[in-house]
Amino acid sequence: MKKYIFNVIIILFAFTMYSCDDKVEPQPEGMLVSLLEVKNNPDKYINSYVRIENVQFVVADTSRVFNGTSSSGGGSRTLQDCQGNTLVVFTAFDSNFSNTKVPDGFGTFKGRVSKFGTTGQLNIISEKDFVALNGDRCNVVPPPIVIAGTRTDISAVRASFTSGVFTINTSIKIRGVVTSISGTGTNFNAQNLTMQDGTAGITVRFAAAHSYTEGDEIEVGLQTQDLSLFNGLLQATKGTTGIPLANSAKIGTAPIGFRTATIAEINSGLYESQLVLINGVSFPTANGTLTYSSNSGNVQISDGTNTTTFRSGSTTTWASTILPSGTNLSVKGIASVFNTTRQILPRKTSDLQ
């Protein structure tokens, strides 16, 4: 009898323990995935509850609530990782946390994967999904853009052009240092730049204004792009529009080299689109009043034997500067051409030595 009572007590104790454990509702941890996996393969994870580590909301969203409107159209917020990859987090206007402030911390985020059209996104299930975004924010450093193609010397690219429009059908790219300064107050259109490697230089025409400047080391992919003459100047471009900016990337910075040249070499076209320094020259028309914008900006420099054009556009910052006198001056600029007239394009006031 005592043994029976003892067994009953054990059974009741075990049942009690099981019942207590059964009442605990565990929080699902979610399937561990990366933000980029969900973004690139939403169908693979559709309706799955996932956990994404090392993420944060973009700064612009951290001053907002998750929705806070009377429309679901206002419920899209942007989650990002430390490489700058982003994913939409969607919150319906009638959710319990529609008016909850978007957290500004860094950490782990959870949610259910869904799609809007063909675009993957995350839906918050409860406020516990974002409670772990409480760490110090990371500095977003996008991965370097990789430009496809075999690196090719600029001199080889130039040599491939003969006449008309030459379309490059091989997978090649050029790498070089930007030598020009583009935009307002300069000699260079905001869509153009000159770049050079150790073999040659070339002018590149982009389809839109670029942000590169002197000293930037860049790569430009040239497959399916064109080589053609614009007013006599060889350009890497695409039709009448220019090379897409996406075909280019900054990979660092580098010292800017220059060629010490003679006017005769400039007039031969030897250093076209390269940065050159010419010593021992004068401005024959300098009289104490004429400026760099004289003669429509096309003033001559001379070494006593040969002359060439020193070109300054009317909107350059030095256009109204008076031409210097003297016979042993030094000037610097990009060797260029306009139709059949060879010229030097200074980049900034310090080129007017």
54-68: average pLDDT: 95
Return the C-alpha torsion angle 54, 58, 61, 67, nearest 10.
-50
Residue 7 lies in a domain: no
Q: What is the CATH number of the domain that holds 49?
A: 2.40.50
Same domain? For 232 and 264 the reply is no
Q: What is the number of residues in the chain?
A: 353
The verdict on 121 and 179 lying in the same domain is no
Q: What's the CA gap between 183 and 128, in Å, rounded?
A: 50
Measured distance CA(286)–CA(325) in Å, rounded: 6
- Mean pLDDT across the stretch 29-48? 94
Residue 2 in this model has a pLDDT that exceeds 90: no
Q: Is the pLDDT of residue 1 over 80?
A: no
List, in sequence order, the alpha helices (H) in the chain: 2-22, 35-40, 42-45, 154-159, 263-268
Residue where a domain terminates, one of 232, 253, 274: 253
Domain for residue 324, yes or no? yes
| pLDDT reported for residue 73 | 80
Residues 199 and 270 in one domain: no
Work out how many domains the chain is built from and give that number. Answer: 3
Confidence label for 6 from pLDDT (cuts 50, 70 and 90): very low
pLDDT at res. 219: 98
User: Is position 141 within any domain?
Assistant: no
The answer to whether residues 49 and 101 belong to one domain is yes
CA-derived radius of gyration, the chain: 32
Question: Does residue 80 belong to any structural domain of this protein?
Answer: yes
Query: Looking at this protein, which amino acid is placed at residue 127?
Result: E
Are 115 and 184 in the same domain?
no
Cβ–Cβ contacts within 10 Å for residue 212, how many?
Answer: 20
Q: Let me know whether 172 and 215 are in one domain.
A: yes
pLDDT at 143: 81
Q: Is the dihedral of CA 344, 348, 352, 353 positive or negative?
A: negative
CATH assignment of the domain containing 290: 2.40.50.200
For residue range 152-189, what is the model confidence (pLDDT) as tens digits?
999 999 999 999 999 999 999 999 999 999 999 999 99
For the range 295-300, what are the long-range contacts, defined as Cβ-Cβ under 8 Å and sequence gap of 24 or more? Answer: 298/341, 298/343, 299/323
Q: Give the CA angle between residues 114, 120, 121 to the nearest 5°.
A: 65
Strand 275-281 with 259-260, pairing: parallel
Q: In whole angstroms, give the CA distance from residue 277 to residue 25.
A: 77
pLDDT confidence of residue 156: 98
Amino acid at 63: S
Instruction: Give bridge partners of residue 240 from the DSSP assignment.
Output: none
Last residue of a domain, one of 76, 111, 135: 135
**228 and 263 together in one domain:** no
Percent of the residues in the chain that have a pLDDT greater than 90, as a whole number: 84
> Is 60 exceeded by the pLDDT of residue 19?
no
pLDDT in tens, 224-258: 999 999 999 999 999 999 999 999 999 999 999 99
Distance CA(227)–CA(165), nearest Å, equals 6
Please tell me the least confidently modeled range out of 19-23, 164-168, 312-316: 19-23
Asked if residue 78 belongs to a domain, the reply is yes
Q: Specify whether 53 is located in the same domain as 88.
A: yes
Segment 323-340 mean pLDDT: 96
Model pLDDT, residue 13: 39
Which pLDDT score, from 0 to 100, does residue 10 have?
Answer: 42
Q: Are residues 154 and 205 in the same domain?
A: yes
Residue-level pLDDT at 27:
47
Q: Where is the domain boundary, 74, 103, 135?
A: 135
**Looking at the structure, do residues 196 and 171 belong to the same domain, yes or no?**
yes
Give residue 32's identity as a one-letter amino acid code. Answer: L
90 alpha-carbon distance from chain centroid:
28
What was the pLDDT predicted at 353?
A: 74
**Structural domain includes residue 10:** no
- Give the pLDDT score at 29: 83
267 with 247, same domain: the answer is no
Ordered DSSP codes for 214-256? TTEEEEEE-TT-EEEEETTEEEEE-TTT-B-GGGEEEEEE---
pLDDT on residue 151: 98
pLDDT in tens, 192-207: 999 999 999 999 999 9
If asked whether residues 181 and 207 sit together in one domain, one would say yes
Expressed as residue numbers, the domain containing 227 is: 150-253
Question: Residue 201: what pLDDT?
Answer: 99
- Is 91 inside any structural domain? yes
Q: pLDDT exceeding 70 applies to what percent of the chain? A: 92
Confidence band, pLDDT 50/70/90 cuts, at residue 70: confident
Residue 144 pLDDT grade (very low, low, confident, very high; cuts 50, 70, 90):
confident
Q: What is the pLDDT of residue 11?
A: 42
For 217-242, letters b (16+ CB in 10 Å) and e give bbbbbbeebbbbeeeebbbbbbeeeb
> Tokens 């900016």 — which residue?
245
The structure tokens 């009043």 sit at 289
Looking at residue 87, its pLDDT comes to 96
Taking only the tens place, the pLDDT of each residue in 106-137 is 999 999 999 999 999 999 999 899 999 999 99
| 230 in a structural domain | yes
Placement of tokens 């959710």 in the chain: 95
Average pLDDT, the chain: 91
